[in-house]
Structure 1
Amino acid sequence: MKKYIGILGLLTVAVIWGTGFVATAVALDNYTPFQILAIRFTVAFLILLGMNITKIKTISKKSFKRGSLLGVFLFLAFAFQTVGLQFTTPSKNAFLTAVNVIIVPFLGFLIFKKKVPIKGVVGSFVTLIGIALLSLTSSLGGINLGDMLTLVCAVFFALQIFVTDFFVDEEETWVLMLLQMGSAAALSWLTIFITGEGLPSIKMETVFPVLYLGIASTLIAYFLQTASQKYTTSSQAAVILSTEAFFGMLGSVLLLGEKVSINMLIGSIFIFIGILIVELDIPQFAKKQG
């Protein structure tokens, strides 16, 4: 039962994150990428701080380091994703972010020397074909800056999912969440200061998308992710969360009127086939490895 609760929680996160791509695209009309990050992480941090202010003294140095590390990965992932969204479409941004599902198993090999199964290699190759179809235009030079930045963000999202899987069994959810959001917020404000962007102007008519990102896509979604990963593995979490790509494309089509090309549809299908090859227990692959 707990496994299914975890799956349902992660699927809910995917839906929220998918709609978050649309909210981010709208927010970029009034704020810079790092202003958006600063507001969303600060909103989440302050709410969490208010809810747990009496328990702050119970946080250990070990927990502080773990939560802060997650915050660094989270900040870098969103930084590359949000900046990338300035140069590509919400649906492509969403699908390319989903490539983290392929990266997670390979992190196990690099860190723990776990053998990557044949289906992992095949699945990665199929996914790369999908990425090419999504990113390339009629010429080989068609990969744009936004696509490349989004692929980098996928690596950091994979690290965030992978490392969260290590810490959730030993740390309380609120501790990891508070420290993660706090360090991500601090890095966002530091970046604004270094780049000289200036403080964001908070107006009622422009702040709603950013508040949605802070409360729904950050506070609620990452709380659900952290809690749900107690009942799933990092690879399972990655494949479920990757469905945010579908919800991202659906949201951009329904809410922003974005047109979906044949290449994008075929590329998306290849990516999902690659994901299924990596995650599902396919008898043919099992026999070859047996």
Structure 2
Amino acid sequence: MDKIKKQAFLADLGLVAVAFVWGSGFVASKNALSSISPMMLMAIRFTVAALLSGLLFRKRMRNISKETFKAGCLIGFFLFTAFAAQMIGLQYILAGKQSFLTATNVIMVPFIYWFVKKHKPDQYNFIAAFIMLLGLALLTFDFSVGFSFNAGDILTLLCAFLFACHIVTVGIYSKKHDPIALTVIQLSFAAIISLADVFIAGEVTLEIPIPGLLNGVYLGVFCTFLAFLGQTIVQKHTNSTHAAIIMSLESVFGSLLAIIMLGDHFTVIMFLGCLIIFLGIITAETKWSFLKSKQKNPEKISEI
């Protein structure tokens, strides 16, 4: 195995690790919410991540422009509201189910970008949207009681929409400003708003339950700081198709870990809905370009 192939292989392993860590975040969040409030959990998570990123990249934060600061705050607003909807919604929904519903944000992105930049999505995006709706119908339909769409489902889909807005704004502003500076600012913005909400709600206390504190720190260090940093580093050494497929495994890992560690119960219909949503995610992320590459260059499959 030559150096380039070795780097690509290690990068893919790195992305699998990132997807696994992000998937584990749903379990850690569910565990934490049994002892602390959603805003307290977010305050711990983002404060830890903001402090670590600020210390590591403090030199990059010198002399940042007013425009960069504004862009980072806007991105941070979508990051905060997305996680707020996710954490509040997680109180009313299975962690494994939420991992798949949250992942539908990748299907929403092209349509939000269409609204903002007037760039029409291609046929794969429309197909992915149709597949997603079919999967959502199966995931939220209970044949014993009929259509069941509760507060957790609604908040999680709102979370997915806000994450899609976050992705679009990052894509727009990262081309004009330093991505590292934007990352530090958005994490800091989310931390400050979360802390302010905790103070306003009167939830400030030094007697934070150990399970909530440990899970919050885990989310801040591994699922936020190290995961975002790791993705940025390793994705330089692999192609976008590989990265898209591997990162989509976040929802799969999230569901599997929820079943194993939390005892989430999935019906056959719900499981089928998850598979269909995953198919929609793959369609939106890759447009099945890896199959086209195999057909055109069968001798270069290892490079895909």
39-48 vs 80-89, which moves further: 39-48
Q: Secondary structure at the match of 2:91?
A: coil
Q: Which residue, out of 150, 157, 161, partners 1:155?
A: 161
CA distance in 2, matches of 1:196, 1:234: 45
CA distance in 2, matches of 1:113, 1:56: 33
2-11 vs 197-206, which moves further: 2-11
User: What residue in structure 1 maps to residue 74 of structure 2?
Assistant: 69
User: What residue in structure 2 maps to residue 188 of structure 1?
Assistant: 194
Q: Tell me the alpha carbon deviations over residues 26-52 of structure 1, each in whole angstroms, 9 at most, x when there is no partner.
A: 001111001000110001111222233
Aligned partner letter, 1:196: G
CA distance in 2, matches of 1:271, 1:158: 16
CA distance in 1, matches of 2:37, 2:162: 21
CA distance in 2, matches of 1:257, 1:109: 40
Aligned partner letter, 2:257: G
Gaps of 5+ in 2: 293-304
Q: Tell me the alpha carbon deviations over residues 170-224 of structure 1, each in whole angstroms, 9 at most, x when there is no partner.
A: 4444312211110001111222233333346335454211110010011112223
User: What residue in structure 2 maps to residue 223 of structure 1?
Assistant: 229
The alpha-carbon deviation at position 251 of structure 1 amounts to: 0.8
1:84 maps onto 2:84 in alignment? no
Aligned partner letter, 2:174: V
Q: Which residue, out of 105, 117, 137, partners 2:122?
A: 117
Aligned partner letter, 2:111: F
Give the structure-2-normalised TM-score: 0.82
Q: Which residue, out of 126, 141, 147, partners 2:131?
A: 126
Counterpart contact for 1:101–1:242, Cα < 8 Å: no
60-69 vs 180-189, which moves further: 60-69
Counterpart contact for 1:173–1:226, Cα < 8 Å: no
User: What residue in structure 2 maps to residue 271 of structure 1?
Assistant: 277
Larger radius of gyration: 2
Q: Which residue, out of 2, 20, 27, partners 1:22?
A: 27
User: What residue in structure 2 maps to residue 93 of structure 1?
Assistant: 98
Aligned partner letter, 1:160: H
CA distance in 1, matches of 2:101, 2:209: 32
Gaps of 5+ in 1: none
CA distance in 2, matches of 1:8, 1:74: 27
1:143 maps onto 2:143 in alignment? no
Q: Which residue, out of 214, 220, 235, partners 1:214?
A: 220
Number of residue pairs matched?
284
The alpha-carbon deviation at position 78 of structure 1 amounts to: 0.5
Q: Tell me the alpha carbon deviations over residues 111-164 of structure 1, each in whole angstroms, 9 at most, x when there is no partner.
A: 222222223222211111111211222334411110110000001111222222
Counterpart contact for 1:104–1:159, Cα < 8 Å: yes
User: What residue in structure 1 maps to residue 300 of structure 2?
Assistant: none
Give the structure-1-normalised TM-score: 0.86
When residues 200 and 239 of structure 1 are mapped into structure 2, their CA distance, relative to the original with a 3 A threshold, is: farther
When residues 68 and 11 of structure 1 are mapped into structure 2, their CA distance, relative to the original with a 3 A threshold, is: farther
Counterpart contact for 2:245–2:286, Cα < 8 Å: no
